[in-house]
Structure 1
Amino acid sequence: MPSPPSPAMPPTPTSAIQLGLPRITSLLHSLQSPHLQTPIIHISGTNGKGSVSAYLSSILLKSGLRVGRFNSPHLVEEWDCLQLGGRNVRREVFEGTKEEVEEVDRREGVGATAFELLTATAFTVFARERPKLDLAVVEVGMGGLTDATNVVDPERTLLSMITPIELDHQKFLGETIGEIARVKAGIVKRGTEVVLAGQAHGEVEGVVRGVADEMDATVWLAGEGSVVEEKEAIAEAEDQTPLPPLVSLPLTPLSIYPSSTVPPPPRTTHLQARLPLPGAYQLSNSATALLASQLLRTSPRCLAMLPSLSGITDESMKEGIESTRWPGRLDWLALPSPRQRMKLLVDGAHNPSSAETLASYLTSLPPHIAPTTLVIGLSFPRDPASILAPLLSSSRISKVVCTPFTPPPSMPWIRATGAEEIASRAKEWDVEVEVVQSVEEAIEGLKMGERAVVAGSLYLAADIYRWVRGRGE
């Protein structure tokens, strides 16, 4: 029988997914509780967390607030997951802080996971920023209840937000929508407000209301924007990408639970803005962020915690929506020379529901803009058919290029599905199928004028941005 490890040898950080709060709580305590220094807005859900956080952060920045943001996973480089004032944190600040966190983890023998170390780094960066941050927008890593980000007290939580919930990560979160919703609603804090996005599954609202009852919280149900018909048709952009539509977004909730809560009436019930992020689902994401902004500037509890929220205006909300950027989600990316006139559509669709959303967007495009080639890479053990079926059954895709992606160095549990395995499933459809060994090979193999969409994984999207960034240096 092997001997147990010596107490003098602290456990090394583990890279495996291990949900739970004891390790992160211990680590943050040893770091002097940086997570209690900055008020946060906490966002969970399955789809749309990143877009909602981007809209909301942009609105808050346009309102003159000093804002931090934590999203995961990172897109290109690890420090991309942290923003301060709308810009990525400086690499040296991120790496220096993370080294300190890792040293404390080793010294105290915590054995934190890779994501727990990253979360502790984020909270520490936020706490040390000068001038001091007003607030931070924090996206859950996985789930909610036992996620490493779920450590901030109610007294420092301005809002909780829950975006659309779908089946995903069932191994960790539960096998049904109701079970997953219960875990994701675990971020709701006692006596706080919750903004709930519109849901495709009716049971989600009931589950969230049940958690709200337990936590004496209030649920604000967000509506959805609508496209405004403009009297004069607007020509397409010169680069052959769709122009942002003008939309009308509601400032009032569809409902408030419990109904005894009566908010002050807004000066206007809707706000018009041009929606910079494409896709029909952005009508919901932007409306969810706008309702959160409305709540932040009117809630007595939020204003008592952070009086400067009163600086949120209709104009700053409009400007914030229109200036939002979110790479990796229906992003029309200009390719570097010699393909400078070619645009690639990049989307991180990685589960069946997001693939259906991408398919819907593709079918909405005019024939001379719509991609006809799909470059796809998937994380193992995702079933390729679950992503291919929506994309090949209802769009103009006639060619599929299958490729692996580069596994992120800090997440060794992530690995790419073999390109040959994806290709074997793609051949079930009447399309041309190619197998390549890298994103570089896939993109460099595109013919001039070939219209392509890249999808299947955010890690694949990261490879694309890394490739473009390298060609631009």
Structure 2
Amino acid sequence: MSETNGSRAYAPFTEVHQAIDWINSLIPFGIRPGLERIELMMERLQHPERRLKFIHVAGTNGKGSTCAILTSALMAAGYDVGTFTSPYIEKFTNRFKYNNEDISDSVLVDLTNQIRPIVEDISQTSLGSPTMFEVSTAIAILFYATVCYPDVVVLETGLGGRLDVTNIVTPIVSVITNIGHDHMDILGDTIEKIAFEKAGIIKPGVPVVTTVEQPEALEIIRTKASECQTTLYALNEKFSFERTHAMENEQVFAFQGPFRDIKKVVITLNGAHQLKNAALALMTLEVLRQYMAFVMEDEQLLQGFKQAAWPGRLEMLREQPRLLVDGAHNPEGAETLAQALKDTYRFDQCHIMMGMLSTKHHRDVLRHILPLADTLIITEPDFRKKMDAEDLAQLAEDVLGSDSKRPHIIIEPDWRKALDQLQTMTAQGDLAVVTGTLYLISDVRSHVLYQTDSQKGW
């Protein structure tokens, strides 16, 4: 039986690859900030977004980790949780999770068949076709509102905030992790401009929690919160944390909040930045406890923090030889990786493999990474926007200049061959690191852990 769209008829999808191929066929429509198309989709679907409670998470770095911690803690406390994140690491279905399980293939097919005629209709209007991310967001909302009915949905922005597709929702709490230099071609070329976009998720009367620290960015968030007549919980103003213990795969911090203090919170995520993400998640949950009647026993809550995991960020894929992957794709991420390599990991030599997209600003990334590398293998991600390895190598040479401490630089465009070289040269006491774009991390993870190709994508 076929479905009709205007004068055209087409058969419903029956296989998941058909649905995913159709959604991905919308990628060429690009990233088009604005809410007109998603608003129209929600209207045609009878506004499923109004039936759900959302925690809305924006920021430059740390969104995924913060979402993972929130999900783990809420689940440990007995809540059913939907989690919508991007990009996905291995499979398209990773982005739609319910209690940390991917959406089933059959449900994705059903929901895609529901949304497809609406998308086809809108594409014939002056608004143009909805984008891949707009359709993915609509599917997520429909999934949570009509199939699995979670108690709360942890919703990560795709890009920015103010004009991001996910800003269709009115959450119960808004979360802004940090402000950094990423997607500057779309969000603006200053911290203030980027902060303005991120602050766009703040809604009237909805409390805001943030770990943004730059005074100029925080002031913009404060102004927006004031305009919306809502309470701002900012790091080092309303809450703070102090690291009390750190070793590989275990960090402990003490939390000080406006409602109570918690002396010992344990996380197994690595890197000092994860303490900040965990404190942010904890303050968010404290707001839910205080104002939204969420019930969370301390023992369960703390167990959820300890169990939280997030793939592709300071993740040790292999112990013999040690292979660490980290999606440090912007300057702030690279600084975080560099700090972790200094503070958390011990090694005789550090061999780093890197691949980047051509759309990013890499000079500052390299400034953080190069001083720590004994060997730098430059490769290319298997993705349409990849940066040429030769060009990245030349940029590395420019950054090094006349620096006397120079890593040995190897250029190998084929990431599989580059990975083989990396693992071959990594001796017992050494550390191998794969970093750069998450598209490269996705490929390496799938190859090492499952001996399969990834379906990576934004």
Coarse TM-score class (shorter-chain normalised): 0.7 to 0.9
User: Could you tell me how far apart the structure 2 residues matched to 1:401 and 1:128 are?
Assistant: 47
* TM-score between the two structures when normalised by the length of structure 1: 0.83
CA deviation digits over 1:114-144, x for unaligned, max 9? 11011111111111233x2111000000010
Does residue 443 in structure 1 map to residue 456 in structure 2?
no
User: Could you tell me how far apart the structure 1 residues matched to 2:140 and 2:98 are?
Assistant: 10
Does residue 214 in structure 1 map to residue 227 in structure 2?
yes
CA deviation digits over 1:63-90, x for unaligned, max 9? 1001000011111211111110122222
Report if the CA contact (8 A) 2:251-2:269 is conserved. Answer: no
Which secondary structure does the structure 2 equivalent of 1:437 belong to? Answer: strand
Report if the CA contact (8 A) 1:198-1:284 is conserved. Answer: no
Moved more, 116-125 or 382-391: 382-391
**Alpha carbons of 1:108 and 1:149: their partners in 2 closer, same or farther (altered >3 Å)?**
same
**Alpha carbons of 1:375 and 1:163: their partners in 2 closer, same or farther (altered >3 Å)?**
same
Query: Of the candidates 350, 369, 383, which is equivalent to residue 391 of structure 1?
Result: 369
Name 1:291's counterpart in structure 2.
283
User: Could you tell me how far apart the structure 2 residues matched to 1:346 and 1:461 are?
Assistant: 7
- Offset at 1:366? 5.1
Matching residue's letter, 1:144:
G
Moved more, 379-388 or 81-90: 379-388
Name 1:182's counterpart in structure 2.
196
Does residue 425 in structure 1 map to residue 409 in structure 2?
no
**Alpha carbons of 1:341 and 1:163: their partners in 2 closer, same or farther (altered >3 Å)?**
same
Query: Of the candidates 227, 230, 241, which is equivalent to residue 225 of structure 1?
Result: 241
Name 1:233's counterpart in structure 2.
none
Which secondary structure does the structure 2 equivalent of 1:160 belong to? Answer: strand
- Offset at 1:438? 2.7
Report if the CA contact (8 A) 1:277-1:325 is conserved. Answer: yes
Does residue 114 in structure 1 map to residue 132 in structure 2?
yes
Which secondary structure does the structure 2 equivalent of 1:467 belong to? Answer: helix
User: Could you tell me how far apart the structure 1 residues matched to 2:107 and 2:366 are?
Assistant: 41
Does residue 16 in structure 1 map to residue 30 in structure 2?
yes
- Offset at 1:432? 1.3
- Offset at 1:108? 4.1
Does residue 48 in structure 1 map to residue 62 in structure 2?
yes
Report if the CA contact (8 A) 1:400-1:426 is conserved. Answer: no
Name 1:327's counterpart in structure 2.
311
Matching residue's letter, 1:149:
T
- Offset at 1:436? 1.7
Query: Of the candidates 150, 162, 174, which is equivalent to residue 133 of structure 1?
Result: 150
User: Could you tell me how far apart the structure 1 residues matched to 2:397 and 2:195 are?
Assistant: 36
- Offset at 1:420? 1.2
Does residue 404 in structure 1 map to residue 380 in structure 2?
yes
Give aligned pairs, total.
415
**Alpha carbons of 1:318 and 1:52: their partners in 2 closer, same or farther (altered >3 Å)?**
same
Report if the CA contact (8 A) 1:271-1:318 is conserved. Answer: no
Report if the CA contact (8 A) 2:176-2:212 is conserved. Answer: no
Report if the CA contact (8 A) 1:346-1:454 is conserved. Answer: yes
- Offset at 1:98? 2.8
Query: Of the candidates 24, 33, 45, which is equivalent to residue 47 of structure 2?
Result: 33
Matching residue's letter, 2:231:
T
- Offset at 1:376? 0.3
Matching residue's letter, 2:253:
V
CA deviation digits over 1:157-194, x for unaligned, max 9? 21001111112212211221111111111111111111
User: Could you tell me how far apart the structure 2 residues matched to 1:107 and 1:354 are?
Assistant: 40
Report if the CA contact (8 A) 1:224-1:283 is conserved. Answer: no
User: Could you tell me how far apart the structure 2 residues matched to 1:220 and 1:376 are?
Assistant: 37
Which secondary structure does the structure 2 equivalent of 1:281 belong to? Answer: helix
Which secondary structure does the structure 2 equivalent of 1:327 belong to? Answer: coil
- Relative to its length, the structure with more helix (as a share) is 2
User: Could you tell me how far apart the structure 1 residues matched to 2:87 and 2:385 are?
Assistant: 14
Does residue 282 in structure 1 map to residue 274 in structure 2?
yes
Name 1:85's counterpart in structure 2.
99
User: Could you tell me how far apart the structure 2 residues matched to 1:181 and 1:433 are?
Assistant: 37
Does residue 462 in structure 1 map to residue 430 in structure 2?
no
Matching residue's letter, 2:210:
L
Q: How does 1:223-262 map to 2 (within 5 A)?
A: 223-229=239-245, 242-250=248-256, 252-253=257-258
Which secondary structure does the structure 2 equivalent of 1:245 belong to? Answer: strand
Does residue 348 in structure 1 map to residue 330 in structure 2?
no
**Alpha carbons of 1:383 and 1:292: their partners in 2 closer, same or farther (altered >3 Å)?**
closer
Matching residue's letter, 1:456:
G
Name 2:14's counterpart in structure 1.
none
Report if the CA contact (8 A) 2:271-2:337 is conserved. Answer: yes
Which consecutive residues of structure 1, in runs of 5 or more, have no partner in the other structure? 1-6, 231-235, 237-241, 254-264, 304-308, 335-339, 408-413
Does residue 148 in structure 1 map to residue 165 in structure 2?
yes
Matching residue's letter, 2:215:
G
User: Could you tell me how far apart the structure 1 residues matched to 2:83 and 2:357 are?
Assistant: 26
User: Could you tell me how far apart the structure 2 residues matched to 1:212 and 1:180 are?
Assistant: 16
Matching residue's letter, 2:389:
A
**Alpha carbons of 1:319 and 1:371: their partners in 2 closer, same or farther (altered >3 Å)?**
farther
User: Could you tell me how far apart the structure 1 residues matched to 2:379 and 2:271 are?
Assistant: 25
Does residue 101 in structure 1 map to residue 115 in structure 2?
yes
Matching residue's letter, 2:226:
D
Name 2:264's counterpart in structure 1.
272
CA deviation digits over 1:242-264, x for unaligned, max 9? 241222233x15xxxxxxxxxxx
- Relative to its length, the structure with more strand (as a share) is 2
Name 2:89's counterpart in structure 1.
75
User: Could you tell me how far apart the structure 1 residues matched to 2:229 and 2:315 are?
Assistant: 40
Report if the CA contact (8 A) 2:249-2:269 is conserved. Answer: no
